[in-house]
C-alpha cells in the first residue's frame, strides 16, 4: 500500500498510509493509523508540478470554508543527521532554506525524542493555564513584547476585517534565565517553571543546531557563523509563545486566526497537533494547509536569517485559520532571534539592528489594518511578495528600488504620525 493505492470515494476516503520512511510520500494525510476511514474532510488527490523547493510528493486538496484549497507537501530534514553534520543532510537543509524556507523537522529519534517529550509537557501546562479565568491569566499583562499575556483580539486577524482569534502567553529566553522570572501566580511553582525552562532550553538547542548546520553548509567560519549572533548571554527577543486558538467560524465570526505574515525570528520551531496553519510558498498565489505530522516539528526561516543570508534564503508567508469551527487549537512556537545589536540590511535596504526590526514589526502586528497599510508590504512579509510571484526577476527588481525606498521616512515614524 504505497502511493499508487490511494483511492478517493465520494464522502469516504480509505487511506492505506505508507511507512513514515517511504521516500515517495513525505506528507501524511490527517490520519495516522493504517486503513482508517476518514469521512471529513474529504481529500482530493490531484497532480501538480514542483514549486520552488516544495516537495513533489502526492499533492492534495481539502475542502475549507466552502472551497477546495491545497495541502502543500514539504520536505523533511532529519534532526539527528543535522546534529551529526552529515554532508547530504546539511545540503538538504541549505536547499530548503534557499528554495522554500519551510520544512518538517524529524525529531522521532534518539537525539530528538526529549524535545517531543518537552512539547507534551508544555501542552499539558497550556491546557491548565488557559482554563483559568482571564483575571488570573492576565495578572501581569503584557510586560514586554516578548513576555506576558495577550488576550483574544489583540492583533489583526487571519481574514479581512477581523481581529485575531487566539490568546497567547509568552516567556522570553532572557527572562527564564533570571533567578526569579516573572510569572503569574498560577505558574509560580517549581513544576511549571521546570516545564517552561525545559521547553525553552530544548527549543534553543534545536534551532541553534540548525543554524550551525546552515553555517557549515555555507562554509562560514568564526564570527561569520549564524549561531555566533545568537548567544544566550546577550540580550535578544528570543521567545517561547504558547497560543490557544478559540473555536470560530470563518464564514461569520469577527475574531479569526492569525494574520498573514513572515516571522520576525531567525528560525521558528513550531509544534501544533491540530490543523489550521496555512502557507503560501514562494512562487504561488494561493494559501494552502500544512498537515500536522506526528514526531515532527515545523521549521520556518524568519526575517532575520533571511537578511543575514544576504537575502538568499526564502521565508514563507503564512497565517492561521480555523480548520473546524468547533475546535480548540493549541500551538507552541519558539522564536529564535538574533542578539538585539546584530546588524543587517533589511527588506527596505536599511542597515538596522535586530532589535529595531523586531520593535517596528511588532508595532505593525498590533496596529489596525489602516495603519498597517501605511507601511511597505516588506514589513509584514519580510521582503517576500504579498500578491505576486516571487521570482528571481522580482527579487532583482525589488533590490533596484532600494535607493528610492531609502528616501521614505522611517516606517515606524510614518505610522505613529498617521495614527
- Residue 50: what pLDDT? 39
> Which residues, 6+ apart, have CB-to-CB distance to 359 below 8 Å?
145, 412
- Residue 241: what pLDDT? 97
- Residue 338: what pLDDT? 96
What is the mean pLDDT for each group of 10 consecutive residues in the chain (419 residues)? 30 33 34 32 37 51 90 97 98 97 97 98 98 96 90 84 90 95 94 97 98 98 96 97 93 86 94 96 89 97 95 93 93 97 91 91 80 77 61 39 42 34
- Residue 386: what pLDDT? 58
pLDDT in tens, 130-142: 999 999 999 999 9
The Cα 202–Cα 322 span in angstroms is 29
The Cα 219–Cα 292 span in angstroms is 33
Convert the chain into a string of H (helix), E (strand) and C (coil): CCHHHCEEECCEEEECCCCCCCCCCCCCCCCCCCCEEECCCCEEECCCCCECCECCCCCEEEEECCEEEEECCCCEEEHHHHHCCCHHHHHHHHHHHHHCCEEEEECCCCCCHHHHHHHHHHHHHHHHHHCCCHHHHCCCCEEECCEEEECCCCCECCCCCCECCEEEEEEEHHHHCCCCCCCCHHHCCHHHHHHHHHHHHHHHHHHHHHHHHHHHHCCCCHHHCHHHHCCCCCCECCEEEEEEECCCCCCCCCECCEEEECCCCCEEEEEECCCCEEEECCCCCCCEECCCCCCEEEEEECHHHHHHCCCCCCCCEEEECCCCCCCCEEEEEEEECCECCCEEECCCCCEEEHHHHHHHHHHHHHCCHHHHCCCCHHHHHCCCCCCCCCCHHHHHHHHHCHHHHHCCCCHHHHHHHHC
Model pTM?
0.79
pLDDT in tens, 211-250: 999 999 999 999 999 999 999 999 999 999 999 999 998 8
Domains of the chain plus CATH, in order, are 68-418 (2.60.120.330)
Amino acid at each position: 500500500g504505497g502511493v499508487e493505492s490511494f483511492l478517493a470515494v465520494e464522502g469516504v476516503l480509505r487511506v492505506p498510509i505508507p511507512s513514515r520512511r517511504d521516500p515517495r510520500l513525505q506528507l501524511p494525510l490527517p490520519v495516522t493509523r493504517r486503513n482508517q476511514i476518514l469521512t471529513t474532510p474529504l481529500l482530493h488527490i490531484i497532480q501538480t508540478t514542483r514549486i520552488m523547493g516544495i516537495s513533489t510528493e502526492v499533492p492534495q486538496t481539502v475542502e475549507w470554508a466552502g472551497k477546495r484549497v491545497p495541502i502543500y507537501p514539504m520536505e523533511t530534514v532529519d534532526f539527528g543527521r543535522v546534529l551529526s553534520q552529515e554532508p547530504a543532510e546539511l545540503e538538504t537543509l541549505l536547499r530548503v532554506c534557499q528554495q522554500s524556507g519551510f520544512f518538517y523537522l524529524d525529531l522521532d529519534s534518539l537525539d530528538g525524542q526529549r524535545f517531543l517529550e518537552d512539547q507534551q509537557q508544555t501542552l499539558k501546562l497550556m491546557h491548565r493555564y488557559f482554563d483559568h479565568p482571564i483575571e488570573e491569566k492576565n495578572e501581569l499583562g503584557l510586560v514586554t513584547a516578548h513576555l506576558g499575556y495577550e488576550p483574544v483580539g489583540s492583533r489583526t486577524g487571519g481574514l479581512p476585517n477581523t481581529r485575531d482569534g487566539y490568546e497567547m502567553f509568552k516567556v522570553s529566553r532572557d527572562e527564564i534565565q533570571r533567578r526569579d522570572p516573572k510569572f503569574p501566580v498560577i505558574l509560580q511553582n517549581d513544576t511549571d517553571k521546570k516545564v517552561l525552562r525545559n521547553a525553552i532550553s530544548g527549543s534553543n538547542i534545536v534551532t541553534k543546531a540548525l543554524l550551525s548546520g546552515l553555517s557549515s553548509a555555507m562554509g562560514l567560519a568564526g564570527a561569520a557563523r549564524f549561531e555566533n549572533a545568537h548567544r544566550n548571554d546577550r540580550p535578544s527577543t528570543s521567545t517561547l509563545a504558547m497560543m490557544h486558538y478559540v473555536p470560530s467560524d470563518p464564514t461569520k465570526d469577527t475574531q479569526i486566526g492569525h494574520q498573514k505574515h513572515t516571522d520576525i525570528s531567525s528560525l521558528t520551531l513550531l509544534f501544533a497537533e491540530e490543523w489550521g496553519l496555512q502557507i503560501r510558498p514562494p512562487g504561488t498565489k494561493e494559501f494552502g494547509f500544512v498537515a500536522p505530522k506526528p514526531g515532527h516539528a515545523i521549521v520556518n526561516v524568519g526575517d532575520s536569517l533571511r537578511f543575514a543570508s544576504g537575502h538568499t534564503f526564502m521565508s514563507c508567508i503564512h497565517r492561521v485559520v480555523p480548520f473546524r469551527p468547533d475546535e480548540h487549537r493549541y500551538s507552541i512556537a519558539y522564536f529564535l532571534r538574533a542578539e538585539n545589536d546584530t546588524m543587517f540590511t533589511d527588506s527596505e535596504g536599511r542597515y538596522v539592528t535586530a532589535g529595531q526590526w523586531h520593535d517596528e514589526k511588532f508595532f505593525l502586528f498590533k496596529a489596525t489594518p489602516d495603519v498597517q497599510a501605511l507601511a511597505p508590504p516588506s514589513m509584514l512579509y519580510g521582503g517576500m511578495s504579498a500578491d505576486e510571484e516571487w521570482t528571481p526577476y522580482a527579487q532583482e527588481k525589488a533590490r533596484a528600488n532600494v535607493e528610492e525606498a531609502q528616501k521614505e521616512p522611517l516606517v515606524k515614524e510614518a505610522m505613529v504620525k498617521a495614527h
